[in-house]
Structure 1
Amino acid sequence: MKKDKVITADQAIALIQDDDVICTTGFVQSCIPEALHAALEKRFVESGGPRGLTLIMCAGAGDSKGLGTGRLHHEGLLKRVIAANFGRMPKVAEAAANNQIQGYNLPQGVISKLYRSCAAGQPGLFSKVGLHTYVDPRLDGGKVNKMTEDDIVSVVELDGEEWLFYKATPIDVAFIRATSADPSGNLSMEKESLTLDCLAQAMAAYNNGGIVIAQVERIVEQGSIMPKDVKIPGIIVDCVVVPEEAELHRMNYGVMYDPALAGEIRVPVDAIPRLPLDERKIIARRASFELPMNGVINLGVGAPDGVASVAAEEKVTPFLTMTTEAGAIGGVLAGGSSFGSSVNADTIIDQNQMFDFYHGGGLDLTCLGMAECDAVGNVNTSRFGGKLNGCGGFIDISQNSRAVVFAGTFTAGGLDIAVEDGELRILQEGKHRKFVKAVNQITFSGKYAASKSQPVIYVTERCVFLLTPEGLELIEVAPGIDIERDILPHMDFDPIINKPVKMNSKIFVDGAMNLMDDLLNLNLAERVSYDPDRNILFLNLEGWSVRKKADVDDLQKVLVEACEKAGKRVNAVVNHDGCRIADDLYDRYAGMIEHMMDHYYSSTTRYTTSAFMRMKMQEALSRRGLPPHIFERKEEAHAALEPEAETEAEEPVA
């Protein structure tokens, strides 16, 4: 006979012993087994045990005010915490910062995938995630204080490449959550907004001879859950707990239950409110120009999540696939207490599977926040202002996305701005500088990103910076902003300044930006002109950006059409001043030039005042055996073309 596994929360928690290793589920404020956390806190307060527990968790699971894992702050209850986020349990974070408990802050995706390593009986996980950040043992090794001495991260070289090896910690108790359970412990998740790592956590504890405790909303008849709907099989579940109070099984702390977040219904989303034209919307608008049409993106919290609102307002959402590290794919990303979930999602996958996708390079773009940034492009979001916040999934996402946009205000603490007549004015400067000489902790390594030719920009309300191998370059300035008055005095370092262009004026006008036209390059043909008398084709790319592969393809199409209209091979002059080509697209761009030289150009020259672009273009063209012909000044480019232009090639285009 199958055992009835339904017991009370107190009975389940009584099975936990001193020094056990516990893992728990939950993402920010969603899918938290609150009744289990409450029962564990109750037992410790009343009896003083269990003591010396190790807590392992991925994302923060709490309301930042004492719920969720925040209940486990009592002195003596925990001796060690391995987590991606400490901000959701501030008293536990304070204990770690004060050397009262041991602590490790590891990337969320790494912890998520370590559950699988534990389940499979493997010693740990090899990953490049965390290299050259504070997780790297050559820096801090993920340790949050001096009393944390054991190394659980090491550097390993395989086939000439550096990897990090993360040591797995065997799990004794797993707290998981589902919607329905039959008496045998088979679990389904029909009313959950996310599935997270519950299956991997349960396997990890069970295969270690540990205990799996599942919190559910209801008990259903034996055999009534269809086999394909069972997310966690009863064979690996030891205890099933139904909370005595419904409040302890909320979908998240702000929502009792929303069927749209659970994927049980689809709802209209056209009525998303428009953001006011403040600093947050300005940042989101500028970041939205980086969106890859038909691409896969991830948005962080804070200023970055405004990109979703702008995308909806500009009606480009149908051409994007938004994802969350928690496992939601498609739909409209939810905010507030529902962050991590999605309304009208296409699918929900387990968190560790989503990180497989992210780690493997599946993201076309991510937009993330920044608390601090320094001259070489390092970003800190994990420990600043004297507080231990944690990296969450920031390292996993930022290191592996094809392109990265960091978004945030230029200064923090009291910043006040106004937009008047299409120009930005700083009414009151923020008290705290974000652009500092050296970040307090490296959550993102600018030098490592540059070495990989990863395209990275830093967007603020008043200017935009570009990551280069030499450091941050100021490439755009908002209308109304003076560099000497509004930018340089409020930074702790001098950025590279070459010839910055104005940020798109449409950003600062309260109305539709017609973003689709820019993302689809519908006006690109207006940048091409042809002088039939001299047989010269002029291409003005000033202020234009090659952000994605489709941009190169669109440009080639426009150039081919212009050349075919001319009816013969042409001599081309290209203005690259103020143009930006993503670091990983120079070769593709050079391939386009090679195609034009083979079939449509007699000769071509180009010019830009950017020494960095000249160098990158020369390298890319030389690799293809093409003469660089890239100059600093327009006059030099024209002079180099004149001999070719005088002998106008009459050969028809191929």
Structure 2
Amino acid sequence: MLKNKVITAEDAIALINDNDVVTTTGFVQSCIPEALHAALENRFVRSGGPRGLTLIMCAGAGDSKGLGTGRLHHEGLLSRVIAANFGRMPKVAEAAQNNKIQAYNLPQGIIAKLYRSCAAGSPGLFSKVGLHTYVDPRLGGGKVNDVTTEDIVNLIEVAGQEWLFYKATPINVALIRATSADPSGNLSMEKEALTLDVLAQAMAAHNNGGLVIAQVERIVAEGSLKPKDVKVPGVLVDCVVVADPPEMHRMNYGVVYNPALSGETRVPVENMARMPLNERKIIARRAAFELPPNGVINLGVGAPDGVASVANEEKVTPYIVMTTEAGAVGGVLAGGSSFGSAANAHAVIDQNQMFDFYHGGGLDLTCLGMAECSESGNVNTSRFGGRLNGCGGFIDISQNSRAVVFAGTFTAGGLKIAIEDGKLRILQEGRAQKFVKRVEQITFSGTYAAMRAQPVLYVTERCVFRLTLEGLELIEVAPGIDIDKDILPHMAFTPVIKAPILMNARIFRDEPMELLAELTNRNLPERVSYDKARNILFLNLEGWAMRKQSDLADLRQVLVDGCEKAGKRVNAVVNQDGCRIADDLQDDYAELVDFMMKRYYATMARYTTSAFMHLKMQDAVSKRGLQPHIFESGDEAHAAKSPAGLEDDWDGLVNWKAKG
């Protein structure tokens, strides 16, 4: 006979024992089994038990005001917490900071994948995620306080490489959530915005001989759920609880139900409200210039999520695939209480599988926030200003994305700006500096990223920095901003300053930026000009950015087209003034130069006023046996004698550059 697993929340929670290891689902404000959390809190307040629980969770699951896991703050209820985010349960975070409970802050993706390790009976998992951050045992091992002494992260060398080994903690109880359940406990998630890790969590608890409690919205008849619609099979589920009252099963704390977020309907997004032109939009607009067409991106919460709005406004969304670490793929990323989900998503996959994709290098770009940044490019978002916020998926994402953009205001707390005639003016400076000598905690290691030639930018409303082996270099300044007045006095260190250029003027005008044309290099052919009389091919890369492989491919195509039209080998003159080539593309660009020299160029002269670019390109091309000189100015390049007569009139380049 079939067993009816539907019971009350009180009866289900009564099965939890003292000292159990409990895991719960939820992402920020979505997909939280609120009725189960409330029942657990009520039991403890009423009876004083269960006591000494260990809580394991991925992302924050609460409203930061007492709901979700914030209900579990009562002294004695928890003895240990292993979590990626503490910001959604501030009283629990306070208990950890005051040494009242043991606590570990581990990367979100690592915890998500540890559920699978537990399910498979594995002792843990190896990963490079967390190396050279505060999770690295050499920098604390993820321990939050002094009473936390057990090492659950170890540094291991395998085949001559450093790895971190994360120990799995066996799970006794899993609190999960779904939409529908039949009496046998088969679960479907048709009205949920995300699937998260419910299957892995249920399997981890069940295979450890533990308890799986599922909160649902409704009970359906036995056999009515289609096999492929069942997300968690009933064999893994011990108890089913129907949320009562229904408000305990809201899609998230701000939305009762939105079928566009659950994928049941599609909604028009063309007329989404435009962001006002303020500091947040300036940052999002500049960050949007780094979007990779046909690429996969991730956006963090706060200033970065404005990039989705800008992309939609500029009609770029169809040409990129936005994802969230929670599992949404494609569509328009949601913000606010719905953060982590997406309207019109192409797919929703499990959170642990999304982190497989991220950890394996699937992301082309991520845009994340920053609370503190040091002169070496280290970023802190996890613990600052007396607050234990936690890393969330920040470490997983930032370490493994092909390119990273950190986005945020230059100073924090009370910053006021004005945009007048396309220029930025600081009306009131923020009270707190964000660019500091040393960060309180290393959530992202700039030194480690620079060693791996990972392209990293730091975008603010008034300037842009990039990560170099020398530290942070100031590369762009907003129109109207004075470096000596508006930037340097408000930093705790002096960045590398070579030859910064102006930020794109279009960012500061309240009109479309024609971003799509910029990202797809539609105007790149206009940067190539051929003087038939003198057989000179002029290439103006001034202010252009080679951000991704497709940029390199587009440049190659326009150069080949120009040379093919000439019908013979040409003398190339390249203006690289203000040109930025991503660190991981330097060798590829040098290969393009090599190809052009062998096939199409008779001679080549290029110039740039950036000493940094000068040295990097000189090194890159010399590795291939090429000896083209990189001049410091157009006049110097003109004065140089070449076999093809590049000493002839430089006026053509000057006039052509002026037209550009």
- Structure 1 length as normaliser, TM-score? 0.98
In structure 1, the partner of 2:21 is: 21
In structure 1, the partner of 2:264 is: 264
In structure 1, the partner of 2:339 is: 339
C-alpha separation in 1, matches of 2:58 and 2:630: 49
| Amino acid in the other structure paired with 2:346 | D
Q: Displacement of 1:647 after TM fit? A: 10
- Is the CA contact (8 Å cut-off) linking 1:288 and 1:310 kept in structure 2? yes
C-alpha separation in 2, matches of 1:110 and 1:375: 28
Matched, 1:289 2:315: no
Cα deviation 1:313-360 (Å, max 9, x = unaligned): 111110010000000001111111111001110110000000000000
C-alpha separation in 1, matches of 2:640 and 2:384: 53
| Amino acid in the other structure paired with 1:551 | D
In structure 2, the partner of 1:652 is: none
C-alpha separation in 2, matches of 1:532 and 1:582: 33
Q: Displacement of 1:52 after TM fit? A: 0.5
In structure 1, the partner of 2:520 is: 520
Q: Displacement of 1:641 after TM fit? A: 5.1
Farther-moved stretch of structure 1 (448-457 vs 518-527):
518-527
Farther-moved stretch of structure 1 (411-420 vs 516-525):
516-525
In structure 1, the partner of 2:657 is: none
C-alpha separation in 1, matches of 2:641 and 2:416: 50
SS in 2 for 1:29: coil
Q: Displacement of 1:636 after TM fit? A: 3.8
In structure 1, the partner of 2:652 is: none
In structure 2, the partner of 1:535 is: 535
C-alpha separation in 2, matches of 1:130 and 1:119: 23
C-alpha separation in 1, matches of 2:276 and 2:228: 46
In structure 2, the partner of 1:416 is: 416
- Is the CA contact (8 Å cut-off) linking 2:640 and 2:647 kept in structure 1? no
C-alpha separation in 2, matches of 1:571 and 1:602: 5
- Is the CA contact (8 Å cut-off) linking 2:498 and 2:612 kept in structure 1? no
- Is the CA contact (8 Å cut-off) linking 1:214 and 1:239 kept in structure 2? yes
C-alpha separation in 2, matches of 1:300 and 1:543: 27
Q: Displacement of 1:574 after TM fit? A: 1.2
C-alpha separation in 2, matches of 1:451 and 1:586: 14
Q: What pairs up with 1:448-459 in 2 under 5 angstroms? A: 448-459=448-459
| Amino acid in the other structure paired with 2:252 | N
SS in 1 for 2:232: coil
In structure 1, the partner of 2:41 is: 41
Q: Displacement of 1:629 after TM fit? A: 2.5
Cα deviation 1:414-447 (Å, max 9, x = unaligned): 0000000000000000000000000111000000
Cα deviation 1:60-93 (Å, max 9, x = unaligned): 0000000000000000000100000000000001
In structure 1, the partner of 2:166 is: 166
In structure 2, the partner of 1:57 is: 57
C-alpha separation in 1, matches of 2:332 and 2:646: 57
Cα deviation 1:231-254 (Å, max 9, x = unaligned): 001111111111220011111111
Cα deviation 1:195-217 (Å, max 9, x = unaligned): 00000000100111110000011
C-alpha separation in 1, matches of 2:247 and 2:604: 70
C-alpha separation in 2, matches of 1:103 and 1:408: 29
SS in 1 for 2:282: helix
- Is the CA contact (8 Å cut-off) linking 2:53 and 2:78 kept in structure 1? yes
SS in 1 for 2:309: helix
Q: For structure 1, list consecutive stretches of 5 or more residues without a partner in the other structure.
A: 649-654
Q: What pairs up with 1:60-139 in 2 under 5 angstroms? A: 60-139=60-139
Q: Displacement of 1:643 after TM fit? A: 3.2
SS in 2 for 1:260: helix
- Is the CA contact (8 Å cut-off) linking 1:603 and 1:641 kept in structure 2? no
Q: Displacement of 1:640 after TM fit? A: 4.1
Q: Displacement of 1:365 after TM fit? A: 0.5
Cα deviation 1:350-374 (Å, max 9, x = unaligned): 0000000000000110000000001
Matched, 1:486 2:486: yes
Q: Displacement of 1:273 after TM fit? A: 0.4
| Amino acid in the other structure paired with 1:262 | S
C-alpha separation in 2, matches of 1:456 and 1:643: 40
SS in 1 for 2:406: strand
C-alpha separation in 1, matches of 2:406 and 2:97: 27
Cα deviation 1:80-131 (Å, max 9, x = unaligned): 0000000000000111111111110000000000000000000001000000
SS in 2 for 1:617: helix
- Is the CA contact (8 Å cut-off) linking 1:536 and 1:645 kept in structure 2? no
Cα deviation 1:178-209 (Å, max 9, x = unaligned): 01111111111011110000000001001111
- Structure 2 length as normaliser, TM-score? 0.97
| Amino acid in the other structure paired with 1:208 | N
In structure 2, the partner of 1:622 is: 622
| Amino acid in the other structure paired with 1:13 | I
Q: What pairs up with 1:542-581 in 2 under 5 angstroms? A: 542-581=542-581
Cα deviation 1:519-578 (Å, max 9, x = unaligned): 111222222233333322222211110001111111112222222232221111212121
Farther-moved stretch of structure 1 (412-421 vs 571-580):
571-580
C-alpha separation in 1, matches of 2:504 and 2:618: 28
| Amino acid in the other structure paired with 2:482 | D
Matched, 1:301 2:301: yes
Q: Displacement of 1:628 after TM fit? A: 4.3
C-alpha separation in 2, matches of 1:154 and 1:613: 40
- Is the CA contact (8 Å cut-off) linking 2:640 and 2:646 kept in structure 1? no
Matched, 1:31 2:31: yes
C-alpha separation in 2, matches of 1:599 and 1:354: 43
- Is the CA contact (8 Å cut-off) linking 1:213 and 1:241 kept in structure 2? yes
C-alpha separation in 1, matches of 2:565 and 2:367: 40
| Amino acid in the other structure paired with 1:264 | E
In structure 2, the partner of 1:221 is: 221
Q: What pairs up with 1:337-416 in 2 under 5 angstroms? A: 337-416=337-416
Aligned positions, number: 648
| Amino acid in the other structure paired with 2:39 | A
Q: Note closer, same or farther for the CA distance 1:264–1:502 as it changes in structure 2 (3 Å cut).
A: same
C-alpha separation in 2, matches of 1:270 and 1:71: 40
C-alpha separation in 2, matches of 1:646 and 1:597: 16
- Is the CA contact (8 Å cut-off) linking 2:638 and 2:647 kept in structure 1? no
Q: Displacement of 1:638 after TM fit? A: 3.4
Q: Displacement of 1:646 after TM fit? A: 6.0
C-alpha separation in 1, matches of 2:157 and 2:75: 40
| Amino acid in the other structure paired with 2:629 | H
In structure 2, the partner of 1:651 is: none
Farther-moved stretch of structure 1 (503-512 vs 585-594):
585-594
Q: Displacement of 1:635 after TM fit? A: 3.7
- Is the CA contact (8 Å cut-off) linking 1:541 and 1:575 kept in structure 2? yes
SS in 2 for 1:613: helix
SS in 1 for 2:271: coil
| Amino acid in the other structure paired with 1:338 | S
Q: What pairs up with 1:595-610 in 2 under 5 angstroms? A: 595-610=595-610
Q: Displacement of 1:46 after TM fit? A: 0.5
| Amino acid in the other structure paired with 1:440 | E
Farther-moved stretch of structure 1 (439-448 vs 523-532):
523-532
C-alpha separation in 2, matches of 1:630 and 1:161: 37
- Is the CA contact (8 Å cut-off) linking 1:617 and 1:628 kept in structure 2? no
SS in 1 for 2:537: strand
C-alpha separation in 2, matches of 1:135 and 1:601: 51
SS in 2 for 1:261: helix
Q: What pairs up with 1:191-340 in 2 under 5 angstroms? A: 191-340=191-340
C-alpha separation in 2, matches of 1:643 and 1:634: 18
SS in 1 for 2:395: helix
- Is the CA contact (8 Å cut-off) linking 2:328 and 2:349 kept in structure 1? yes
- Is the CA contact (8 Å cut-off) linking 1:80 and 1:103 kept in structure 2? yes
Matched, 1:439 2:439: yes
Q: What pairs up with 1:175-194 in 2 under 5 angstroms? A: 175-194=175-194
Q: What pairs up with 1:494-509 in 2 under 5 angstroms? A: 494-509=494-509
C-alpha separation in 2, matches of 1:646 and 1:360: 48
SS in 2 for 1:449: helix
| Amino acid in the other structure paired with 1:480 | G
C-alpha separation in 2, matches of 1:357 and 1:612: 34
Q: For structure 2, list consecutive stretches of 5 or more residues without a partner in the other structure.
A: 649-660
SS in 2 for 1:542: coil
